[in-house]
């Protein structure tokens, strides 16, 4: 009974996600207690000497949610809205994502409450090095392995690995993934999340369309968020002959019913797509983009974009969650009532962490693979995860999200049982 009374440390959002599974999984009180709170939460302040000579202290977090399957794994985000509850949920989702993809990793997430656009490059570097100094004893290639997330990238990972290696006195590239290739990064990691999402979408279309002839028919797509994930996915789907009719970034969106000319704004040197430079398009808001009557809607920006406020106005037939947690729990129910299929984040955007795993393996072997090999192995792994989930959902008639969560949690609990933690 003590377990039930002890509600401290609970991840409220994770607990309610677990409740959705109750019918499908019948989790015991102990299993619920184990899964509804993170194993380790680190909150800390990072003092940073700013360019003007003054010191600012930033709130920072690292949540290591579950490590039954192996070292914990997950990105670090820099964003003004970062808070502990959100980081806990994102760490929980990472645990499910790694499990579902069959990786030997647990789940974690980190974040710093900061608006990185207001910091100079030097300040960002000192902030990152400060983050490492505060938690270096609690991370490591076999403990917890961070990676890029919202507003962090290969350059940030390079500072990270440099600071960590200096503290430890040896080069330890496996402490983070998503590094520049010259510092032990993997070919294909940059585009991996997008490519994984494209493979998932293709597989899903093959399953629901069946016949070969039908498979070739282009689909109409709207993408919210055109950064690394959304932009690369837009490029891939455009290359595959699909019609990207709308796209948006923080400055707003653009729309053209006959399809946007993605190549004209994406082939820039810095690989960023400059949406605002596109000619002959209609300007739309992010909100309008979400409500377009397209075959596939792809939220690839931040969390909680589809909520009770707009869920009943969504007209897409399918939603692929490329951002983490872009749909609120209540909105998910509304979408299900409207018979809109949602391919959840833990499956759709797992390409990033799958190739992170390949990077980590290459670091420990000191042997590096070609891009073709990485992409081929990504395809194999993500299609297998998709097939397992789809098959289960066909059998049980549960949603793809419930099926994905069940498979992921079953694997984590099996590992916990074999370790002797429970059961």
Tell me if 352 contacts ligand GLU by CB under 6 A.
yes
Both tokens of 223, joined, read: 């993408």
What does the alpha-carbon distance between residue 210 and residue 307 come to, in Å, rounded to a whole number? Answer: 32
Q: Indicate which single residue of 128, 303, 305, 324 sits in contact with ligand GLU (rule: CB under 6 A).
A: 324
Q: Please report whether residue 36 would count as binding ligand GLU according to CB under 6 A.
A: no
- What distance in Å separates the CA atoms of residue 410 and residue 27, rounded to the nearest whole number? 10
Which residue is associated with the tokens 């949406």? 275
DSSP 8-state assignment for residue 81: T
- Residue of the chain from 158, 353, 374, 408 that contacts ligand GLU (CB under 6 A): 353
Which CB sits closer to ligand GLU, 220 or 356? 356
Return the structure tokens found at 8.
């401290």
Binding segment toward ligand GLU, per CB under 6 A, in 4-12, 71-79, 179-187, 208-216 = 71-79
Per-position b or e across 13-22, b if 16+ CB within 10 A of its CB: bbbebbebbe
Question: Given the complex with ligand GLU, which of 74 and 116 has the nearer CB atom?
Answer: 74
Nearer to ligand GLU, 86 or 149 (CB): 149
Is residue 249 involved in binding ligand GLU (CB under 6 A)? no
Angle between helices 329-337 and 12-20 (to 10 degrees): 30
Q: Which stretch binds ligand GLU (CB under 6 A): 119-127, 256-264, 345-353, 388-396?
A: 345-353
Best CA proximity match to 273, nearest among 222, 229, 211: 229
Residue tagged active-site, from 109, 235, 379, 381: 109
Among residues 127 and 354, whose Cβ is nearest to ligand GLU? 354
Q: Check binding of 73 to ligand GLU (CB under 6 A).
A: yes
Among 38, 71, 75, 344, which residue interacts with ligand GLU (rule: CB under 6 A)?
75
Distance CA 302, CA 313 (A): 19
Mode of pairing for the β-strands spanning 144-145 and 252-255: unpaired
Q: Which stretch binds ligand GLU (CB under 6 A): 37-45, 203-211, 307-315, 346-354?
A: 346-354
Distance, CA of 73 to CA of 147 (rounded, Å): 8
Where does this chain touch ligand GLU (CB under 6 A) — which range of 44-52, 127-135, 331-339, 349-357? Answer: 349-357
Asked if residues 340 and 317 have their Cβ atoms less than 8 Å apart, the reply is: yes
Please check whether residue 259 is in contact with residue 240, taking contact to mean a CB–CB distance below 8 angstroms: no
CA-closest candidate to residue 159, choices 187, 182, 127 = 127
Least Å distance, CB 141 to ligand GLU, is 13
Compare residues 324 and 375 and give the one whose CB is closer to ligand GLU. 324
Q: Could you tell me how many residues of this chain bind ligand GLU (CB under 6 A)?
A: 12
* CB 269 to ligand GLU: min, Å: 25
Which residue among 38, 71, 74, 197 contacts ligand GLU (CB under 6 A)? Answer: 74
- For residues 347 and 420, what is the distance between their CA atoms, to the nearest angstrom? 28
Q: Figure out which of the listed residues 72, 177, 341, 363 binds ligand GLU, where binding follows CB under 6 A.
A: 177
Pairing between β-strand 106-113 and β-strand 76-79 as defined by DSSP bridges: parallel
What does the per-residue mask of binding to ligand GLU show for 356-385, with x meaning CB under 6 A?
x-----------------------------
Query: In whole angstroms, how close is the CB of 292 to ligand GLU at the nearest point?
Result: 26
Residue 243 a catalytic site member: no
Q: What is the largest CA-CA distance in the chain?
A: 66
Other C-beta atoms closer than 10 Å to the C-beta of 182 total 8
Instruction: For ligand GLU, give the closer residue by CB, 74 or 225.
Output: 74
Q: Which of 232, 149, 231 is nearest to 195 (CA)?
A: 232
Site mask for ligand GLU (CB under 6 A), range 137-176, x = bound: ----------x-x---------------------------
The Cα 417–Cα 409 span in angstroms is 12
Beta strands in 170-232, from DSSP E residues, in sequence order: 220-224
- Catalytic positions are 109
Contact residues for ligand GLU, defined by CB under 6 A: 73-75, 147, 149, 177-178, 324, 349, 352-353, 356
């Amino acid at each position: 009974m003590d377990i039930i009374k002890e509600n401290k440390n609970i991840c409220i959002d994770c607990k309610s996600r677990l409740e959705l599974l109750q019918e499908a999984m019948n989790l015991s009180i102990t299993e619920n207690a184990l899964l509804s709170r993170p194993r380790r939460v680190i909150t800390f302040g990072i003092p940073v000497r700013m360019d003007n000579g003054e010191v600012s202290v930033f709130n920072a977090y690292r949540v290591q949610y579950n490590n039954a399957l192996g070292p914990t794994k997950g990105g670090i985000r820099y964003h003004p809205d970062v808070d502990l509850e959100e980081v806990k949920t994102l760490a929980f989702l990472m645990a499910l994502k790694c499990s579902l993809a069959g990786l030997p990793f647990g789940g974690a997430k980190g974040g710093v409450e900061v608006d990185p656009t207001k910091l100079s490059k030097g300040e960002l570097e000192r902030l990152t090095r400060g983050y490492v100094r505060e938690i270096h004893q609690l991370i490591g290639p076999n403990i917890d392995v961070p990676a890029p997330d919202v507003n962090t990238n290969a350059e940030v990972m390079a500072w990270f690995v440099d600071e960590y290696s200096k503290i430890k006195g040896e080069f330890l590239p496996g402490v983070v993934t998503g590094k520049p290739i010259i510092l032990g990064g993997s070919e294909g990691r940059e585009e991996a999340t997008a490519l994984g999402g494209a493979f998932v979408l293709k597989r899903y279309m093959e399953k629901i369309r069946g016949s070969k002839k039908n498979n070739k028919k282009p689909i109409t797509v709207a993408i919210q968020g055109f950064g690394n994930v959304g932009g690369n996915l837009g490029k891939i789907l455009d290359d595959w002959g699909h019609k990207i009719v709308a796209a948006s970034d923080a400055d707003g969106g653009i729309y053209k019913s006959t399809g946007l000319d993605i190549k004209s704004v994406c082939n820039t040197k810095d690989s960023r797509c400059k949406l605002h430079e596109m000619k002959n398009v209609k300007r739309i808001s992010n909100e309008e983009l979400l409500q377009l009557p397209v075959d596939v809607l792809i939220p690839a920006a931040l969390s909680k974009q589809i909520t009770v406020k707009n869920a009943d106005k969504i007209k897409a037939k399918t939603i692929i969650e490329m951002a983490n947690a872009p749909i609120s729990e209540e909105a998910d129910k509304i979408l299900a009532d409207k018979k809109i299929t949602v391919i959840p984040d833990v499956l759709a955007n797992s390409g990033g962490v799958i190739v992170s795993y390949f990077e980590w393996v290459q670091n420990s072997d000191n042997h590096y693979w070609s891009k073709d090999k990485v992409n081929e192995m990504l395809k194999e792994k993500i299609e297998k995860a998709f097939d397992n989930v789809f098959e289960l959902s066909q059998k049980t008639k549960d949603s793809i999200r419930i099926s994905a969560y069940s498979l992921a949690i079953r694997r984590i609990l099996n590992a916990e049982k074999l370790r002797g933690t429970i059961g």
